[in-house]
Every structure is written in C-alpha cells, then in structure tokens.
A = this chain, B = another copy of it.
Amino acid sequence: MSPKLIDKTEKCNEIASAALYLFAKKGYAATSVGQIAEAAGIGKGTVYEYFPSKEDIFVHAINAWMMDLINRMVEKTRNIENPVDRLKAFIEMVKDVLNVEEPDPKKLFADIDQQTFMPGGAFYKRRHIIKDMRAAFCDLVVDILLDGVSKKVFKPEIARDVSKIAINLLAYLDGICMHYLIMEEYQEFEDQIDFYIRGFVDYITI
C-alpha cells in the first residue's frame, strides 16, 4: 500500500546541489543530465522521477543558490551598527562572491542571463523569479540606507529617493563586476569600487 517512503524535497535539493556545482563548473549547456545523475550518485532515469526536465533542475538549483546568497548577505550585515561599515560590509560580500574559484559564479550569471533572455530558456517564462531576487537585494540596500538615515549618519533627504539610489548603486556594482570578469584585473576592480564608494558615501553622509 505505502512502501518505502522517501523525502522527495530533500532528494530534489541533493540533485539540484550536485547540478549547481556542475553548472558553475562547465556551464548549463555543457552539463548533461547523465553527469548530474552521476554526481548525485543516482541513475539517469531516477533524475526524471524528481524533475520533469533539465530546465527545472536549473531553475531549482539557481533559486536555492540565490536565496542562500541573499540570506547570507542579510545575516552578515544585520548586526553592524555603523551604517557606513554596514554598507561597506555589503559591498565586500559582493566582491567575495566573484572570487569563489571552484564552482565559478560567473558561469552561473552568464547562464542565468541566457536562460532569461532566450525564448524557451528556463527562466524566460519565469522571469518573476529573477525579478524577485533583484528586488530582495534592493530591499537590503534600502534597509541599510534608511537605517543610516534614522541614525542621523546619512542625509535625511536621501530617504525620498532611497529606492532610486539603491537601484543605481546595485546597477553600478553589477556593471563593475561584469567589467572585472571580462578585464580580469582584480586590483583595478578594487580601486574602481573604492573610488566610487568614497564618492557615494561622501554624497549620502551628513
């Protein structure tokens, strides 16, 4: 009637986790379902007991990865009292994400864009997932900024445009990270961010 019961959710996570590692290592297209199965220690057919398609594995894996990322960022910056330090800690985390070697995050980013923009891509009809992720990052920055305003460290007038400012800061970080990933000069990358953030902090602090 009801033999061997398995925690489907847990197994899904295991498969997605193994898959994420491969996606980050070789890219989505170059990773076959057979390799995912092998990495997860199961048979190819079994994968399809837990996911209807390769695309769904990607969506699940990326979703978990991004959620984890944003959670860690919120956690790490939550208890920093000084708003300027908190902002800088956030930026430091953004920089750190890029320097993970083994499962290479830049491949994940490239694949996410690909799957978001191409018709038929895994995220093409689930763009809301990507949008929600961006919104979560934006919320964190807004929170840091408003915290600074309430502590009388940042100018009160930035509260009015706080979401514009947050989006612009995130856009800059996005762009400069991309610049670094292409140009591959870490020192320049750090200098650029320092230069920018100095101006930014000057602009928002009282």
Question: Which A residues lie at the B interface, using CB under 8 A?
Answer: 26-27, 29-30, 106-107, 109-111, 113-114, 116-120, 127, 130-131, 134, 161, 164, 167-168, 170-176, 178-179, 181-183, 191-192, 195-196, 199, 203
Which B-chain residue is minimally distant from A123 (CB atoms)? Answer: B182
CB distance from A188 to the nearest CB of B (A): 8
Supplied contacts A110-B116, A178-B178, 5 more A-B pairs, CB within 8 Å? A26-B119, A113-B113, A131-B182, A134-B183, A164-B191
Are the C-beta atoms of B195 and A168 separated by less than 8 Å? yes
Knowing A130-B182, A174-B174, A178-B174 are in contact, say whether A203-B199 is a contact too (CB < 8 A): yes
Q: Chain B residues near A30 (CB, 8 Å)?
A: 118, 120
Do the beta carbons of B182 and A175 come within 8 Å of each other?
no
Residues on B with C-beta less than 8 A from A120 are: 30
Query: Contacting A168 at CB < 8 Å: which of B106, B109, B196?
Result: B196
A181 to B131, CA, bound (A): 11
**Contact with A127, one of B134, B164, B182 (Cβ below 8 angstroms):** B182
Given contacts A114-B114, A131-B183, A182-B134, contact A192 B176 (CB under 8 A): no
